[in-house]
Amino acid sequence: MKEIVSFLQEKQSEMVDKLKQLVEMESPSNDKELVDKIGEKIADLFESYTGGKITVIPNNHFGNHLRGEWGEGEDGQILLLAHMDTVWPKDILQTLPFRIEGDKAYGPGAFDMKGGIVQGIFALHALKELNISPKRKIIFLFTSDEEIGSGTSRQLIEEEAKKSSAVFVLESAASKEGALKTARKGVGIFNLKVKGIAAHSGIEPEKGISAISELASQITYLDSLSDYSKGTTLNVGVIKGGSSSNVVAAEAMAEVDLRVTANKEFDRVIPLIQDLQSTIEGTKIMVEGGINRPPFERSQEVEELYLLAKNIAKEYLSFDLMEQLSGGGSDGNFASQYAPTLDGLGPVGDGAHANHEHAIISQLPVRSALLALLIKELG
């Protein structure tokens, strides 16, 4: 086991070089050409470093997905998940170039989650070079649309998760201390549209029915559905309405974000949102939307996986591996419905989606070793 750690420690500079290469290949979710280019690079890295096989899964809407297969194991499979796309727009490198300052590698996507891709490939590289052959085959999915909801990759993720004994998600760690994510909130997204009747607010306001007033009433009601003791929150994050200050608003809309820690809270709250009733006579309410990602709940099987990882970290990597609930969603939410899942096995760092995004360089081989040791132990 120690040989895996030593091997990867010696690969730190090489890992940073590959991270630099990936960060300098921009991959905004909506740019198919750029995501496909980084996909070609990742496919080359995977095959050259692991000896595994990549299958390209064509995608007409966004970048192609990649399915990597490694090992000769016949006792089921372990699934690794990563995404190639980032939230950053094209040409962002002109203002936020890759750079190294001390122990930090800065750049768009370094933390979320190109560092995780590098760590995953090098984990398999270590097992290959050290002639360690797990009994279970490793399937490594590199998807192209996680940052925009995983609309074209969800089915692929779920199909592979159903066949897996465990799923390891290489999203960034939950904290600067490197905590794993053993639960994630589920996400619901809703759009409310309210119809009223327009009228001149000075001449004949009595002939109008304000859609904004109705929306205000609905927002108050939606806020009341939050239950912080259960981790359930509703946030009305966007509102729009009206056309002018001297016109009774004929239309208004709101965008609502719902977060829950358990499916039973979706069962409680969603029917109430879908059945919103007007409080002002003459207005009409339309509700669109639903579940974007189911909650990733901390099951007994997840706890067992976490304790295995915690023991490995303590015995072979000399640190105390913690766990956290994350309020954000990932592809781990989908996978966790079908197989025990550990998320946050990717880089330690900070600044996802922010200008100070960075990965801690010295932690790249440590996290890679943690993944390799988990695969060896389970395989």
Mean pLDDT (the chain, rounded): 97
Number of other residues whose CB lies within 10 A of the CB of residue 97: 12
Residues 6+ away with beta carbon under 8 Å from 60: none
Residues 6+ away with beta carbon under 8 Å from 261: 183, 185, 186, 230, 231, 232, 295, 297, 325
Q: Which two tokens stand for residue 209?
A: 């029915």
Question: Of 223, 277, 304, 287, whose CA–CA distance to 253 is shortest?
Answer: 287
Over residues 90-138, the pLDDT tens digits come to 999 999 999 999 999 999 999 999 999 999 999 999 999 999 999 999 9
**The residue count for the chain:** 379
Provide the pLDDT for residue 54: 99
Q: Which two tokens stand for residue 83?
A: 């995404």
**Are β-strands 180-184 and 104-106 bridged in parallel, bridged antiparallel, or unpaired?**
unpaired
Over residues 45-82, the pLDDT tens digits come to 999 999 999 999 999 999 999 999 999 877 899 999 99
The 3-state DSSP class for residue 137 equals strand
* Fold for the domain defined by 2-184+296-378: Aminopeptidase (3.40.630)
Please give the Cα distance from 119 to 174 (Å, whole number).
16
Handedness of CA 193, 196, 198, 201 (dihedral sign): negative
- What's the whole-model pTM score? 0.93
For residues 17 and 31, is the Cβ–Cβ distance under 8 A?
no
CA distances from 101 to 76, 115, 323 (A): 43, 16, 28
**Are β-strands 104-106 and 99-101 bridged in parallel, bridged antiparallel, or unpaired?**
antiparallel
Over residues 350-373, the pLDDT tens digits come to 999 999 999 999 999 999 999 999
* Fold for the domain defined by 186-293: Alpha-Beta Plaits (3.30.70)
Find where tokens 């981790």 sit. 231
Query: Which residues is 293 bridged to in the sheet?
Result: 187
User: Residue ranges of the domains in the chain?
Assistant: 2-184+296-378, 186-293
Over residues 239-284, the pLDDT tens digits come to 999 999 999 999 999 999 999 999 999 999 999 999 999 999 999 9
Residue 69, φ and ψ in degrees, nearest 5: -130, 130
